[in-house]
């Protein structure tokens, strides 16, 4: 167990009876550490953007803003949260942007709008004339897929290199639109270095295609899609090996005149989050032991998008009033009327009683936003941050914004 997890567990144990649950508890020092680690992957002049889709909790966004991060947003809600947190460097991602949204962006001075499709491009052309200058990046889908959660070949995202070249050509003749460069995000939840580096190979090939067509690429935005070990069987991505491999790349000539922008969600916030739920009941039925929690898939969805979640257990930590070395095999379930509401099957756990706590680490990204908030109208979650000085800062829960 890491030192930061030890500190968080110590806090939870000391406040076991009065912590409101279900709770997302974020560790300020873990957030700082994740940002430090991520920053080291890139050259010093690279700009980092936090992808709010991972977790738009205003307290987290505020903290990342104080660390100098920009924001990658996909709609008005994320824009508003970023501005309220004091972020002025905003990158506009998201698919199928409407003419209305694009019109509003033209007057808001974004760092860049990422063009995802020819239709978006036509919409932007139509509305950009009223703006002074709209910077754009073109998102490229190379037509092949990489490991992890694929968002490249075979998916709906981005433009083919040919489509992007013809948009860059058209942009050159428009006074109100500035083609800044290219955007690459090929997928998420990568737990090994190889597919990330293969993706960089492809990025470099595409930059060369643009260079050959005499396009100067000022900015390249890359989302590496670094993964998080949600499940008991996952191994963490080796960040120091990744750093070494990436730095070999950054030395090459092709990157010498390019400013890198890096967008990330999970890698920045997942490890800072701990989901804490309270045991409400233990039950024996047909030879099995079920332990019920006061929140289920309505408040916590680990491993978003990884169809495997329902068949694999996340890592569990336990805080019991009467610690006992004897382990038993239990199923950990939530409070919803569906048998899918099962966090863990055949989990080896100490004997858990009503009031004990179950903690799931690495729960700071996507777990809250993609949970089934409406199911059974059960009470939702609270959110708080454990500050570096050991105090607890209560945050306004995002479902109450």
Ligand X SMILES: Cc1ncc(COP(=O)(O)O)c(C=O)c1O
Q: Which stretch binds ligand X (CB under 6 A): 119-127, 263-271, 272-280, 393-401?
A: 263-271
CB of 119 to ligand X, least distance (A): 17
All residues at 6 or more sequence positions from 139 whose CB lies less than 8 Å from its CB, including other chains: 93, 114, 115, 116, 157, 158, 159, 182, 183, 184, 185
CB of 323 to ligand X, least distance (A): 36
Whose Cβ is closer to ligand X: residue 265's or residue 296's?
265
Q: Is 112 in the site for ligand X (CB under 6 A)?
A: no
Q: Is the peptide bond before 22 cis (omega within 30 degrees of 0)?
A: yes
In the numeric block, which tokens belong to residue 314? 């996340």
All residues at 6 or more sequence positions from 18 whose CB lies less than 8 Å from its CB, including other chains: none
Q: Name 115's bridge partners.
A: 138
Q: Site residues for ligand X, window 303-362 (CB under 6 A)?
A: none
CA angle 137, 139, 141 (to 5 degrees): 160
Q: Is 110 in the site for ligand X (CB under 6 A)?
A: no
Question: CA end-to-end span of the chain, whole Å?
Answer: 34
In the numeric block, which tokens belong to residue 364? 């700071």
Whose Cβ is closer to ligand X: residue 93's or residue 344's?
93
Q: Which stretch binds ligand X (CB under 6 A): 3-11, 81-89, 192-200, 258-266?
A: 258-266
Q: Is 322 exposed, middle or buried (0-12, 13-18, 19+ CB in 10 A)?
A: exposed
| Contact with ligand X (CB under 6 A) among 64, 85, 264, 360 | 264
Q: Is 78 in the site for ligand X (CB under 6 A)?
A: no
Please identify the residue of the shown chain whose CB is closest to the bound ligand X.
Answer: 265
| Contact with ligand X (CB under 6 A) among 185, 230, 292, 381 | 185
CB of 247 to ligand X, least distance (A): 20
Q: Site residues for ligand X, window 51-70 (CB under 6 A)?
A: 51, 53-54
All residues at 6 or more sequence positions from 118 whose CB lies less than 8 Å from its CB, including other chains: 159, 163, 167
Do the Cβ atoms of 35 and 42 come closer than 8 Å?
no
Sign of CA dihedral 36, 41, 47, 48: negative
CB of 324 to ligand X, least distance (A): 38
The CA distance from 104 to 127, in Å, is 9
Whose Cβ is closer to ligand X: residue 82's or residue 188's?
188
Interface map 284-313 toward ligand X (x if CB under 6 A): ------------------------------
Size of the site for ligand X (CB under 6 A): 16
| Contact with ligand X (CB under 6 A) among 34, 267, 332, 371 | 267
Q: Which stretch binds ligand X (CB under 6 A): 47-55, 96-104, 198-206, 278-286?
A: 47-55
Q: Which stretch binds ligand X (CB under 6 A): 240-248, 257-265, 284-292, 336-344?
A: 257-265
| Contact with ligand X (CB under 6 A) among 93, 110, 303, 314 | 93
| Contact with ligand X (CB under 6 A) among 263, 331, 341, 382 | 263
| Contact with ligand X (CB under 6 A) among 22, 142, 195, 265 | 265
Whose Cβ is closer to ligand X: residue 9's or residue 269's?
269
Q: Is 223 in the site for ligand X (CB under 6 A)?
A: yes
Q: Site residues for ligand X, window 225-244 (CB under 6 A)?
A: 225
Q: Is 188 in the site for ligand X (CB under 6 A)?
A: yes
Interface map 126-165 toward ligand X (x if CB under 6 A): -------------------------x--------------
CB of 353 to ligand X, least distance (A): 37
Whose Cβ is closer to ligand X: residue 151's or residue 279's?
151
Residues that bind ligand X (CB under 6 A): 51, 53-54, 72, 93, 151, 185, 188, 223, 225, 263-267, 365
């Amino acid at each position: 167990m890491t030192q930061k997890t030890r500190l968080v567990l110590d806090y939870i144990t000391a406040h076991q009876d009065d912590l409101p649950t279900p709770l997302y508890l974020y560790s300020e020092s873990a957030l700082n550490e994740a940002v430090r680690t991520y920053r080291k992957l890139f050259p010093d002049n690279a700009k980092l953007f936090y992808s709010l889709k991972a977790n738009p909790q205003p307290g987290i966004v505020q903290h990342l803003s104080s660390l100098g991060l920009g924001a990658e947003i996909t709609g008005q809600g994320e824009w508003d949260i970023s501005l309220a947190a004091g972020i002025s460097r905003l990158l506009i991602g998201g698919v199928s942007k409407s003419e209305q949204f694009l019109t509003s962006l033209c007057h808001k001075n974004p760092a860049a709008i990422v063009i995802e499709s020819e239709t978006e491009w036509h919409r932007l052309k139509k509305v950009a004339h009223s703006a002074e200058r709209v910077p754009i990046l073109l998102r490229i889908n190379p037509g092949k897929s990489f490991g992890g959660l694929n968002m490249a070949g075979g998916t709906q995202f981005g433009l083919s290199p040919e489509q992007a070249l013809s948009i860059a050509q058209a942009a050159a003749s428009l006074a109100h639109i500035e083609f800044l460069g290219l955007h690459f995000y090929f997928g998420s939840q990568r737990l090994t270095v190889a597919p990330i580096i293969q993706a960089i190979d492809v990025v470099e090939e595409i930059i060369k295609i643009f260079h050959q067509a005499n396009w100067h690429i000022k900015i390249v935005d890359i989302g590496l899609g670094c993964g998080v070990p949600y499940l008991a069987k996952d191994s963490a991505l080796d960040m120091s090996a990744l750093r070494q491999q990436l730095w070999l790349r950054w030395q090459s000539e092709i990157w010498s005149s390019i400013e890198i922008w890096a967008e990330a969600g999970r890698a920045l916030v997942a490890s800072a989050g701990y989901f804490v739920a309270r045991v409400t009941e233990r039950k024996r039925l047909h030879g099995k032991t079920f332990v019920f929690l006061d929140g289920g898939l309505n408040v916590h969805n680990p491993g978003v998008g990884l169809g495997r979640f329902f068949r694999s257990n996340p890592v569990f930590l336990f805080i019991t009033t009467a610690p006992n070395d004897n382990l038993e095999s239990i199923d950990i379930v939530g409070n919803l009327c569906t048998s899918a509401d099962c966090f863990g099957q055949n989990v080896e756990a100490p004997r858990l009683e009503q009031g004990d706590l179950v903690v799931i680490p690495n729960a700071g990204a996507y777990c809250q936003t993609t949970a089934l908030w409406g199911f059974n109208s059960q009470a939702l979650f609270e959110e708080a941050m454990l500050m570096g000085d050991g105090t607890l800062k209560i945050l306004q829960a995002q479902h109450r914004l």
